[in-house]
Structure 1
């Protein structure tokens, strides 16, 4: 049945049935992966390449799923999942199938989600990271409670990708390898004064001070992270090595030997990337070295990504924006005298990190279930963690450690 025939024939009869048939029509355009859709125990259809190694299934629990997906696109599908309108035994694979068929998903969003897209854009624009709004945006995610993050992160509370050198490391080992790689690339020594933009829960600052003896100035605008790190630094008697600040990075003024920022640039926002990059250069001495670990959207998807709002920007990281690798390279070149010396892609390591986080989250959620984290919250975070894992596995996004030096830095660099 042609698309025009489907619309003209079925709209007058049953609007819900029309929505279902129209969405199934789009599903029939899937070319990659194999998707099985069932409803009330009955097969709705099998779509895509039946011989594909990537297999996924969706069990529709409520007919409102069709409307949410059709008129809400990928955001609507996520919200529908939170509302228990559908489920899957392998959520990662479901999302991978749709990422692999992004042209079909883009077609749905272009034709039918324009009303919801307008609303999402308005909300997203209101969340751009001015100094005042940045603190609120960070609080909305990072101040959900240290107990939440403690149930799925490693023993150092690192909320960023680890490095799985051999592929069989556990989460604690992978994060230790990441910390070591950062410090070795920066060639840290006891004579260095390092500035860290984005403290997290203090894992990197503490690691640098304990293992390399350097002075560390680290800043965060998350009140919960600040209080947690303050207690940790005091417990470890590192107050003479670590200066902890609760202020916006834009307020920093001194000059430092080394600079490090781990997965903080994503929280800066599209409108403030230039300011962030220029600030990094300003904070470094003339022979300084810096390393940023960044999540990057695929270069070829940057234009589409920049013009839209996704599920994570709406529900997880308000004000967030993933720069592409080429965008960052261009910005550093045009705005500073910093030179990129090394780029290390750890995108697949991030997929493994997210899988480990999800396993921990699922196994330990019972510990916080009575603290206000309900089933909707659980499904929100399950969708978040699984969609991120799918994104890295499909290489829709990646993560990189980027090592840069000032133009006057003439020394060798360290590759790990």
Structure 2
């Protein structure tokens, strides 16, 4: 039986080998046999110790979610999983379905994920699952501004620039896109812990900030009060329930929590909220259009374990919906490697908090391992180029 499994899984390794157009994978297999896959062109050089064949079985039946389960159970290990994730993302087109769930399990998980759709009640439940882990948790490893989205570093990206300074640059870039005078009214859809709202208030703008997280609502109110600023209101409001019109709309990495089913609804809400000729500034995360269909047909590691209801954008589909809603797409700027650097710094801070015992006691080792894996997984995806973060200006017709 063991010999038969080895033969079957060797065939899967053959498929992975054939799909590695760039970079290489050195794998130590059960029984101490070693195989080197790829190596045809420069790229990431990953190392994996495959402790049990069952890890590959989980990869076949569960895709990236199954691969995480195998890692959590010690069925595979690597000195740097980030490089492995980068390697697979770099070769996303040539690998095809080698790293995605197959068969009945894929259909079952897709059906179960559908139960987490972002209806009004579902959105609140999904947001609470991720963000209401507690402000004390996020404060330990985000930068001092409590910003949970990609920073925008100066080019070239250097370690000397602080994460806090790069996050401030990101907020200023969004504000520059809106190009509003003091006194103008801005709607922020998905306000996080208030970094953008504070920056906007310091420019003299009036901000209506909305969130579905009670933890974030409390934090923003406290932040604005501590800063001695006025003109910022924050409320627990679904974007679909916004009324009135604004001089500008900002939304920073909120649309990933909307889901493909509701992209048009989200864009229609932005269009309604904008005065004629006004602008929205959006920061979003998109996955390569070439693999979007396969991605959308599966339930990946993040959707299953970290952010239920989440969905990265297909930029071409999202842009088409924006234009259908009367929003002109302008000045798109992508900066995916900036997100990779942001994630690396978050992981360093997270590891330091764990090492010093500062994490709240309710978070056990299983949780710690999950979040460390999540940060590595995301960093590798951005370094591999298949995932990008971008800012764009959407202009409503006059």
TM-score (norm 1): 0.88
1:283-298 aligned at under 5 Å gives the runs 283-298=273-288
Q: Distance in 2 between matches of 1:321 and 1:70?
A: 22
RMSD: 2.1
8 A contact 2:49–2:77 mirrored in 1: yes
Q: Residues 107 and 232 from structure 1, CA distance in 2 versus in 1: closer, same or farther, beyond 3 angstroms? A: closer
Encode CA deviations 1:200-242: one digit per residue, 9 max, x unaligned. Answer: 00111011102x011110000011111111222222233x310
CA offset at residue 50 of structure 1? Answer: 6.4
Partner of 1:139: 128
Partner of 2:344: 355
With 115-124 and 194-203 compared, the bigger mean Cα shift is at 115-124
CA offset at residue 341 of structure 1? Answer: 2.4
Q: Note the residue ranges of structure 1 that are not aligned, 5 or more in a row.
A: 1-11, 409-416
Helix, strand or coil for the counterpart of 2:275?
strand
Encode CA deviations 1:77-114: one digit per residue, 9 max, x unaligned. Answer: 1221122322211111111222233356534367x721
Partner of 1:315: 305
Counterpart selection for 2:193 from 198, 201, 207? 201
Partner of 1:384: 374
CA offset at residue 22 of structure 1? Answer: 4.0
Helix, strand or coil for the counterpart of 2:118?
coil
Q: Note the residue ranges of structure 2 that are not aligned, 5 or more in a row.
A: none
Q: Find out whether 1:72 has 2:59 as its counterpart.
A: no
Encode CA deviations 1:322-370: one digit per residue, 9 max, x unaligned. Answer: 1222112211111x22212211112121111111111111222244445
Q: Find out whether 1:158 has 2:147 as its counterpart.
A: yes
Helix, strand or coil for the counterpart of 1:69?
helix
Helix, strand or coil for the counterpart of 1:403?
strand
Partner of 2:107: 118
Q: Distance in 2 between matches of 1:21 and 1:278?
A: 50
Encode CA deviations 1:177-213: one digit per residue, 9 max, x unaligned. Answer: 1111111221132121111000100111011102x01
- Segments ≥4 residues shifted beyond 6 Å: none
Q: Residues 363 and 43 from structure 1, CA distance in 2 versus in 1: closer, same or farther, beyond 3 angstroms? A: farther
8 A contact 2:211–2:238 mirrored in 1: yes
Q: Find out whether 1:130 has 2:119 as its counterpart.
A: yes
TM-score (norm 2): 0.92
Q: Distance in 2 between matches of 1:70 and 1:338?
A: 41
1:238-257 aligned at under 5 Å gives the runs 238=229, 240-257=230-247
Counterpart selection for 1:176 from 164, 168, 179? 168
Q: Distance in 2 between matches of 1:291 and 1:98?
A: 32
Q: Distance in 1 between matches of 2:369 and 2:44?
A: 23
Q: Distance in 1 between matches of 2:165 and 2:93?
A: 38
Which of the two has higher C-alpha Rg? 1
CA offset at residue 309 of structure 1? Answer: 1.8
Q: Distance in 1 between matches of 2:19 and 2:253?
A: 34
Partner of 1:190: 182
Counterpart selection for 1:220 from 195, 211, 215? 211
Q: Distance in 2 between matches of 1:177 and 1:354?
A: 17
Helix, strand or coil for the counterpart of 2:285?
strand
8 A contact 1:148–1:368 mirrored in 2: no
Q: Residues 108 and 345 from structure 1, CA distance in 2 versus in 1: closer, same or farther, beyond 3 angstroms? A: closer
Q: Distance in 1 between matches of 2:53 and 2:290?
A: 35
Q: Residues 256 and 370 from structure 1, CA distance in 2 versus in 1: closer, same or farther, beyond 3 angstroms? A: closer
Partner of 1:233: 224
Q: Distance in 2 between matches of 1:407 and 1:70?
A: 48
Helix, strand or coil for the counterpart of 2:96?
helix
Helix, strand or coil for the counterpart of 1:296?
strand
Q: Residues 314 and 363 from structure 1, CA distance in 2 versus in 1: closer, same or farther, beyond 3 angstroms? A: same
With 287-296 and 131-140 compared, the bigger mean Cα shift is at 287-296
CA offset at residue 115 of structure 1? Answer: 2.4
Q: Distance in 2 between matches of 1:157 and 1:171?
A: 11
Partner of 1:413: none
